Amino acid sequence: MSDKEAGVTRRSAPVWLGGVASLAIAAAALFWIWTLAIPLPPETMCTAIYPAPAGCAGTARLLPATVWSILVIAATIGAFTLHRRSWWGAAGWVVLTALIGICGYIATLHVRVFVFA
C-alpha cells in the first residue's frame, strides 16, 4: 500500500515539527526575557554595573519585555498558521522566532537604567 492510498502526506510532519520547535524557542525566549525584566524585591542589593544584572533594573525593563514578548508570540502564531504547508515556510518561521527571541533578550538586557550613565 502506497502513502497516497493510505492518505499519509510526507509534508505534514516537518511543518508540524516546525510549529513545535517555534513554540519551544518562544517559551525559552519568554522565560529569559522575563527573568531579566521582573524586578527583585526592594531590599535586594544590586551592583551598579552596565548592563544591570537580572532583576536589578527596577521597572525600566518591563516595557521592552512586553513589546518583545508580543513580537515573539506573534512569530509563534505565524509559525502555526502562515507556514503555507511547506517545509521551507515552517523553517523560516522557526528562524524568525529564534531571531526575535534573541533580539528581545539583548534589547531587554541593554536598557539604559541609570539616568547619568
Residue environment code for 40-58, b if the CB has 16+ CB neighbours within 10 A, otherwise e:
eeeeeeeeeeebbebbbbe
Domain range for residue 68?
21-109
Q: What is the pTM assigned to this prediction?
A: 0.80
- Decide if 79 is inside a domain: yes
Q: CA 84 to CA 45: how far, in whole Å?
A: 50
Q: CA 19 to CA 76: how far, in whole Å?
A: 7
pLDDT tens digits for range 93-114: 899 999 999 999 999 998 876 6
Q: CA 106 to CA 111: how far, in whole Å?
A: 9
Instruction: Give how many domains the chain has, as a whole number.
Output: 1
- Decide if 98 is inside a domain: yes
pLDDT tens digits for range 33-90: 999 999 888 888 888 787 888 888 888 889 999 999 999 999 999 888 876 667 778 8
* Nearest of 94, 113, 115 to residue 28 by alpha carbon: 94
